[in-house]
Amino acid sequence: MSTLMNYSKDKLWQIEQNGFDQAYLGKTEAIMALGNGYLGARSAEEEAYISETRDTFVAGTFNAFDENEVTELPNVPDMWAMTFVFNDKPLNLTFGQVSAYKKRLNLKNGELTRDFIWEYDGLKLKFSFRRFVSKKRLHLLMSKVAIENLTSNPVTVALKSGINGQVSNEGSQHFTDGEKGLMAGKFIQMMPMTTGSKIQFVQTVEHRLSVENSQRPETGRRAFFMNYDFELAGNGKVEIEKRGNIYTSIDKDVDSHELKKLRAVAVDELQAIQTLTFDQLLLESGEEWDKVWRKHPIKITSEDFRDQIAIRFAQYHLHSIMPAHDDRMNIGAKGLSGEGYKGHTFWDTEVFMLPYFTFTHPELAKSLLTYRYRGLDGAHKKAASNGYSGAQYPWEAAWPTDGEVCPVWGAADIVTGQAIKIWSGFIEQHITSDVAFGVKQYLDVTGDKTFEIEKGYEILLDTAKFWTSRLEWNAETGLYEICDVMGPDEYKEHINNNSYTNYTAHWNMTYALQLMEELKTNSPELYAILDKKLDLSALTEAILAKVDKILLPKATEAGIIPQDDSYLTKTTVDLQKFKSADGVDGLFHVYNLEQINQMQITKQADVLLLMLLFEGLFDEALKLKNFDYYEPKTTHDSSLSLSTHAILSADLGKLEKSYDFFNQAKNIDMGEYMKSSDAGIHAASLGGIWQMTVLGYGGVRMVDGKLRIEPHLPNEWQALDYGFDYQGESISVSVDKEKMTLTKADDGNPIRFSYHQHEYTLQNTLTL
């Protein structure tokens, strides 16, 4: 365990690593990743290290390596590396003396900097690296380095820099070796194409050096570099700027996807900004970031200043990975910051990240849900292939029409050598009601009638249609069951009647019934259109026939809602010793998955998540009993678990426990554990940080379609300021230990909400 992360009370926009360790490159590569939703890049160092993971991704450009692999977001030919050799010694910070090392991400404007002094074998050089991905010009990558010679001896410098297509996704190569060209004498261009999905890329790079140099182009297989040789005078300084852009044939912001045109667009863009400096381009990008920060700024007054950094860290990453430019794309479980989960979209979006966008950037939430609407065909295919009707959403989603992209086989059991089957794609079916839940929440919060009419109803009805077909009749009990599934708790495979799954399916169907009745009455035209698509009368009939006979697990005498048919009959085990371990491996050193399957051990919130999302269904006493029952049995091995527990425990008055969960969640990526982010940041957990802050401590909640605001700050927080959009109105909230003040513009519609069982109306300002 290293202690290389450094946070400062005076730098609440800053993530800093204050020492270099080649064993922990993955940490800052991921948590300091750059992105603008169009493209994202891990912040791998300019100089190469054996243990690096050098990734650049362009959202939506999925490709499958071969027929045995599912589609994944391909690692694009690298444009960030710069190979420096000083007096025949390659820059390598593992060796020599490194001092004043600071690698920093400025969350406010998305600028990455890295400063240090390197001494080796008579060399003493001061480096200052800067980078950003433009939030204004989505295709643009900017990089700059200043090198100062701190000795009086001249140093010979060799720099090799360009585009390197020999990178891959851990050895899986997704690109053909495309054409290469040197345009206008200075723009290096490479034109790789994805092998299967045939997406054409155009990557262009330009270098600017502040010193006279001899230069030599070098092309190779999948590579195009420029070599620069120059002398760095004693006590001299040199600046090198590298500008690049990426265009693809699925871009919506270009007129033509013809290769020739794409190439011209790329060169034209770099030509157009010739007179703009690095700082000017950074400034205009920062102005775009400011729009994020000005929308509902969050201020946390806490004993731990890192809480404020954490919410900014969360928002920074959520926006850097949000494909705001294209509703055919969604957010991957690791965003654009790593190869983990292959860039695929999970329920993480609807249950953990979408609420942030729904409450603060509804236009982005709409884009994410439009992606699900575009995914209906794939969901139909999945349902049909399993013998069901309606829309069964894929557990893992890539390009919306791809359908299920969850790998069927995972890593091999190293003892038997047999690949382990991944069941999630087959039996983790709650994703379908999660999507419906996300749509419902979006509609409730925004009141977006257009989306509801054009897409929302259809998703809600089509998913209900799936569930209706999915139910299994049990003649013995006279009930409809849902057997052989996996709930949110992935430690329990092949179980029957998972409460989360059954309750949410029941809700999905009940709500569809209600919608169909409303539609028939109020919007007969729309009803007719949807009826033609979905056969609504048959659906109504089927739901009516089944909905009241769905097995909804009831509380035991002790008040415990069983997680599934068999959970409560399993043996229990004391998990305390595993919870205190750093990683989550401890448990698996003692038990294997099969054994854990037979114990009351839960990976993440399952019954408790149900109680949070559908809080109106259960009373507080019942929630408390279940919290006290399930939480000690939960390992929180999934980063998705903590926010649910934090919010629920705050609701239940367990503020200390809640803040403990908040801290754990905060530290998943930002913390001292240097290996936790290797495969990428934990996007759902970042959504969770916002949820804990605003929905949990800020107390904003939609209950049965109605707004409730009931803050409960943790003891460590003196005050919290936040805001959200609701029904087209922008609401600001200031909370401290004594009171809550709500503000909105006077000229909008009045907003009704509840606060501790009382109804209030907000016109402009209200203090409670």
Name which of 194 and 370 has its Cβ closer to a second copy: 194
Nearest to a second copy of 18, 22 (CB atom)? 22
Decide if residue 170 touches a second copy (CB under 8 A): yes
In which element (H, E) is residue 95 found?
Answer: none
* Residue in 181, 130, 183, 161 with CA at minimum distance from that of residue 229: 161
Residue 168 binding a second copy, by CB under 8 A: yes
Decide if residue 87 touches a second copy (CB under 8 A).
no
- CA dist 61 → 90, 277, 451, 658 (Å): 34, 30, 26, 39
- Residue 690's closest CA among 443, 358, 367? 358
Residues belonging to the chain: 768
* CB distance 302 to 310 below 8 Å: no
Q: 754: part of which helix (H) or strand (E)? A: strand 751-755
Give the nearer residue to a second copy in terms of CB position, either 221 or 294: 221
679 binds a second copy (CB under 8 A): no
To the nearest 10°, report the CA torsion of 623, 629, 631, 634: -130
Stretch that binds a second copy, among 416-424, 484-492, 502-510, 643-651 (CB under 8 A): 416-424
Contact track, a second copy, 146-165, x by CB under 8 A: -------------------x
Phi and psi angles of residue 39, each rounded to the nearest 5 degrees, phi first? -135, 155
Annotated active-site residue in 119, 284, 490, 716: 490
Nearer to a second copy, 172 or 496 (CB): 172
- Helix axes of 536-546 and 457-470: crossing angle, nearest 10 degrees: 50
235 counts as binding a second copy under rule CB under 8 A:
no
The residue (of 82 and 324) whose beta carbon lies closer to a second copy is: 82
- Does 171 contact a second copy by CB under 8 A? yes
Residue where the block lists tokens 């109306």: 761
| Residue among 114, 135, 222, 306 that touches a second copy (CB under 8 A) | 222
Closer residue to a second copy in complex, CB, 87/510: 87
Sole binder of a second copy in the list 83, 151, 510, 754 (CB under 8 A): 83
Residue 223 C-beta: closest distance to a second copy, Å: 8
CB of 296 to a second copy, least distance (A): 40
The residue count for binding a second copy (CB under 8 A) is 51
Q: Which of 95, 528, 590, 593 binds a second copy (CB under 8 A)?
A: 95
Cα–Cα distance measured from residue 55 to residue 76, given in angstroms and rounded to the nearest whole number: 7
- From 1, 411, 475, 558, residue interacting with a second copy (rule: CB under 8 A): 411
User: Which residues ranging from 250 to 289 are in contact with a second copy (CB under 8 A)?
Assistant: 263
- Rg, Å, the chain Cα set: 27
We find the least distance from the C-beta atom of residue 211 to a second copy, in angstroms, to be: 22
The token pair that represents 592 in the structure block: 């294997």
User: Of 102-121, which residues contact a second copy (CB under 8 A)?
Assistant: 120
Nearer to a second copy, 249 or 693 (CB): 249
In what helix (H) or strand (E) does residue 383 lie, and over which residues does it extend?
A: helix 376-385
Which DSSP string do the residues of 495-524 spell out, in sequence order?
BS--HHHHHHHHHHHHHHHHHHHHHHHH-H
The answer to the question of residue 717 lying near a second copy (CB under 8 A) is no
Q: How far apart are CA 178 and CA 259, in angstroms?
A: 11
Choosing from 69, 304, 481, 736, the residue that interacts with a second copy (CB under 8 A) is 69
Nearer to a second copy, 168 or 597 (CB): 168
CB 79 within 8 A of CB 52: no
What is the nearest approach in angstroms of a second copy to the Cβ of residue 679?
11
Residue 183 touches a second copy, criterion: CB under 8 A: yes
CB of 257 to a second copy, least distance (A): 18
Q: Where are the beta strands (DSSP E) in 198-311?
A: 201-209, 214-220, 223-232, 237-248, 299-302
23 contributes a contact to a second copy by CB under 8 A = yes
Dist CA 643 CA 404 (whole Å): 27
Residue 391 to residue 373: CA distance in whole angstroms: 10
Which residue, chain included where needed, has tokens 């600046």?
239
Provide the 3-class DSSP secondary structure of residue 251. Answer: coil
Give how far Cα 228 sits from Cα of 208, 224, 379, 537, Å.
11, 13, 53, 72
258 is catalytic: no
> Pick from 138, 167, 670, 733: which binds a second copy (CB under 8 A)?
167
Choosing from 62, 65, 359, 511, the residue that interacts with a second copy (CB under 8 A) is: 65
Structure tokens at 726: 């609701």
User: Of the listed pieces 55-63, 167-175, 523-531, 626-634, which binds a second copy according to CB under 8 A?
Assistant: 167-175
Contacts of a second copy in 188-207 (CB under 8 A): 189, 195
Closer of 195 and 727 to a second copy (Cβ): 195
| 176 counts as binding a second copy under rule CB under 8 A | yes
For 570, the token pair is 């399993």
* Residue among 18 and 667 whose Cβ is closer to a second copy: 18
CA–CA distance, 487 with 504 (Å, rounded to integer)? 11
**Residues annotated as part of the active site:** 490
Which residues contribute to the site for a second copy (CB under 8 A)? Answer: 22-23, 48, 50, 65-66, 68-69, 83, 88-90, 92, 94-96, 120, 165-173, 176-177, 179-183, 189, 195, 217, 219-224, 263, 411-412, 414-419
